[in-house]
Amino acid sequence: MDAGLRFFTFASPPRFYALSGALLPWLWAATALFAAAGLYIGFFVAPTDATQGDAYRIIFIHVPAAWMSMLLYLVMAFWAAIGWAFNARLASMVARAIAPTGALFTFLALWTGSFWGKPTWGTWWVWDARLTSELILLFLYLGYMALVTAIDDTRRADQAGALLAIVGAVNVPIIYFSVKWWNTLHQGATISLTAAPKMAQTMLTAMLLMTFAFWAYAFAVVFMRTRSIIIERELHTEWVGALTGRVGGRGSRT
């Protein structure tokens, strides 16, 4: 009837399953291309940093991973909220599919940060605002995952998870602005980094290319997981039956 109704019709699990399946090869191709270009520029074009030597090259995975960890949390909370408010099944499934990837990027941001901190700050870990709030983000992801798997009733689990995700979203601006609000060892926002212009340019290019690669990777792997969740939840429906050859002869791909 109205546009809103059509939107939800389009977001039906069978359509999403087919569409995301068609997009997957392109997303993986984009991941490979952006990563190859980013790593080439990052290691062979961008020069050695005057103060940090070659240790700074960790930035090409550290900053994209940290950005993705925060972005994915907000996207997860958004879809969890949509799923809760409108009882939109697919939105709740997407929220669940995002959590492990978000946790992975959060862990990577912490790990690479630790390996960067040791040579530059002289310590693997310090309880400062940026690092601690990022660690809390990891616990929020893990808590969300534990909560939704602990509740057997799928709808109730999605609702409880949505509540946790929404409340936890307050942590994201805290992470982002922590370097401004508190005295911290961590440097300020990377994008406004003021180094010698020429050097910053190639570094920035490599970092942005790696960010695109991580972005495409996140889309691809979240789509893969959403497709699994769709099948798991719609096991007995006719369209899944047709997909696997249960209904209407031989199974079809994608």
Partner 1 sequence: MNWGGAGEFFAMGGYGLYVWGSYAVAVLLMGAEPLLARHRHAEARRAAARADEDETGELR
Q: At what angle do helices 154-168 and 129-150 cross, to 10 degrees?
A: 170
Considering only residues 10, 245, 252, 254, which one is a binding residue for partner 1 as defined by CB under 8 A?
245
Residue with tokens 């939105």: 91
Task: Tell the smallest beta-carbon distance from residue 163 to partner 1 (Å).
Answer: 26
- 237 SS3 class: coil
113 token code pair = 């940060």
Task: Tell the smallest beta-carbon distance from residue 29 to partner 1 (Å).
Answer: 13
> Exposure string (b/e) for 53-81, b if CB count within 10 Å is 16 or more?
eebbbbbbbbbbbbbbbbbbbebbbbbbb
- Residue 99 phi, psi (nearest 5): -50, -50
- Residue 226: left (phi > 0), alpha (psi -120 to 50), or beta? alpha
Task: Tell the smallest beta-carbon distance from residue 253 to partner 1 (Å).
Answer: 11
Task: Tell the smallest beta-carbon distance from residue 162 to partner 1 (Å).
Answer: 22
- Is 53 a binding residue for partner 1 by CB under 8 A? The answer is yes
Q: Which span sits near partner 1 by CB under 8 A: 49-57, 81-89, 165-173, 188-196?
A: 49-57
Considering only residues 81, 108, 137, 162, which one is a binding residue for partner 1 as defined by CB under 8 A?
108
- Is 7 a binding residue for partner 1 by CB under 8 A? The answer is no
- Is 44 a binding residue for partner 1 by CB under 8 A? The answer is yes
* Count of Cβ atoms closer than 10 Å to residue 214 Cβ: 26
Positions in the binding site for partner 1 (CB under 8 A): 43-44, 46-48, 53-55, 57-58, 61-62, 65, 100-101, 104, 107-108, 111-112, 115-116, 118-119, 217, 220-221, 224-225, 227-228, 231-232, 235-236, 240-241, 243-246, 251
